[in-house]
Amino acid sequence: MSNTLNNTDLIKLNREFGIGDQLTFTEGPAGFILAEIKNPHGEATVALHGGHVLSFRPRGHEPVLWLSRNSHFQTGRAIRGGIPVCWPWFADHPTDADKPAHGFARTADWAVSESEKLEDGSIRLRLFIADSEKTMKLWPHRFRLEMDCTVSDVLRTKLISTNTDNKPSVCGGALHSYFNISFISAIRITGLEDCSYIDKVDQGRRKVQNGAVSINSETDRIYLDTKADCIIEDSGLPRRICISKNGSLTTVVWNPWVDKAAAMKDFGNDEYKRMVCVETVNADTDVIELAPGDTHTLESIIRLESLTEG
Ligand code: TA6
């Protein structure tokens, strides 16, 4: 099914997977099909294009995810903001620079496989893609990739990779989350203290994080062997965004700052002041080897805390 609007698709989707007024499929920008989730705890929007969570807002709170006002909504292009799904590799392809950065999943047409309302009132939605002639040209492996998100006042997002081939495969990936913040100088990120990282802004030099992370210039760091929760403390809103994870030993922190922001067409020049990426990743030494039939789950759990809590 193409991800752009076709009435029969929408009617079929709502009949098969809709849940009253709590999960409805609608038309979005450029005719992209969106799943709108609204329940007493919170709300979220998910695009079938890229299996992409675009927004999340716990009831009574400011949006937690950031989306660029200049984002593309175009077949074949990635959406700028929310939670892009990077897969089956993170950042540049390890050996072929002609292959798309962050893999092909974020520009693929995903389909719906499951939806349900859970006992606690949260709504769960599952989307998937599988290998095709097109993907085999980019990555010669048979696979099934699923994105499962559960929405309450907590956003739980799982990326489930299954090797459906008869030979092993190695994949990397990320839930490349963009967070909405009051102002870049009003935040600090904890949970990465004493972790070593690859500084992509400084020729890939290896460094060790000293104290909390604050951002006052272009930042692009791959933190290695990380297990702890990351917390974005935002004194401007004020709140704490807590990001827990499973199935990942790598965390990426990114802010393009002035020049990179200006160089990106799908990113407003001043928008670097209002976003930060704290990504749940499998990359570098933490890529995943899947034997035939094997499955790996990369999970992020995003929730809010007030600054006075904890
Ligand atoms: O996750 C950080 C990063 O890999 C940066 O190097 C930067 O390129 C960012 O992703 C955005 O990549 P994109 O391909 O979406 O422009």
pLDDT tens by residue, 189-230 = 999 999 999 999 999 999 999 999 999 999 999 999 999 999
Query: Which residue type is seen at 96?
Result: D
| Residues at CB less than 6 angstroms from ligand 1 | 78, 91, 101-102, 176, 200, 220, 252, 254, 277, 279
**What angle (nearest 5°) sits at the alpha carbon of residue 275, between those of residues 279 and 273?**
145
**Model pTM above 0.95:** yes
Residue with tokens 């799908």: 266
Round to whole Å and give the CA distance between 168 and 307: 46
pLDDT on residue 7: 62
Distance of CA 148 to the CA centre of its chain: 12
Tell me the CA distances in angstroms from 266 to 68, 70, 189, 255, one per residue in order: 7, 5, 26, 15
Q: φ and ψ at 269, to 5 degrees?
A: -55, -35
Look up 279 and say whether it is catalytic: yes
Residue 90 Cα, ligand 1 centroid: separation in angstroms? 9
pLDDT on residue 310: 52
CB 105 within 8 A of CB 46: no
Round to whole Å and give the CA distance between 165 and 293: 7
Query: Which residue, judged by its Cα, is nearest atom 14 of ligand 1?
Result: 101
Residue 277 Cα, ligand 1 centroid: separation in angstroms? 9
pLDDT tens by residue, 138-197 = 999 999 999 999 999 999 999 999 999 999 999 999 999 999 999 999 999 999 999 999
Which of 70, 176, 179, 281 should be mutated for ligand 1, with most atoms under 8 A from CB? 176
Atom of ligand 1 nearest to the CA of 174: 1
